[in-house]
Amino acid sequence: MQANIGLSDKVSQQIATLLNKLLADEFLLYTKTRNCHWNYEGDNFMEMHKFFEAQYEELADVVDDVAERIRKIGHFAEGRLKEYLNLTQLKEQPITSDQQKQVKHLLGDHETIIRSVRKSIDEVADNLKDAGTADFLTGVMEVHEKMAWMLRSYLK
Ligand SMILES: [Fe+2]
């Protein structure tokens, strides 16, 4: 059933497209963070293992929130892995057990997401006039800013 919430079909479709791209990025970063959790090797193994676990758990919540936001504006959330790879702007890297490489890759991805969400917030608020999605995206950006700070703190 159509959502009658004051957004035109055209506008809600544009927002859903933008959010599905973000969903693909979030799902990829979630998987990449699990990859680090599984494959890290080093003398602070347990710290990094738990650190990456806390980060992917936070990303799992973001994934769910983005998907459900798409449903709230009346569209289907993408849930197919092949489509995520088509939609995402992130790249997968070779598997590594090296802490510095793992942390740098994840940090780069968080910063990519932060930059594109920052642009989307302006687009959604100024042009598409959806305050709810702009507010939601601001919260998502802040979650990534915190996670990026924590990752950055492992780098010199
Ligand atoms: Fe685990």
Read off the pLDDT of residues 6-59 as tens digits, 9 standing for 90 and up: 889 999 999 999 999 999 999 999 999 999 999 999 999 999 999 999 999 999
d(CA 136, CA 134): 5
d(CA 152, CA 6): 41
The CA 91 to ligand 1 mean position distance, Å, reads 23
128 in helix, strand or coil?
coil
d(CA 52, CA 36): 7
Identity of residue 146: K
pLDDT band at 3 (very low <50, low <70, confident <90, very high): confident
Residue 42: which residues within 8 A CB-CB, separation 6 or more?
A: 48, 97, 99
The CA 31 to ligand 1 mean position distance, Å, reads 12
The pLDDT tens digits of the residues spanning 104-155 come to 999 999 999 999 999 999 999 999 999 999 999 999 999 999 999 999 999 9
pLDDT band at 69 (very low <50, low <70, confident <90, very high): very high
d(CA 108, CA 114): 10
pLDDT value at residue 56: 98
The CA 34 to ligand 1 mean position distance, Å, reads 8
pLDDT value at residue 138: 98
Residue 8: which residues within 8 A CB-CB, separation 6 or more?
A: none
The CA 53 to ligand 1 mean position distance, Å, reads 7
Query: What is the Cβ-side half-sphere exposure of residue 153, based on CA atoms within 13 angstroms?
Result: 8
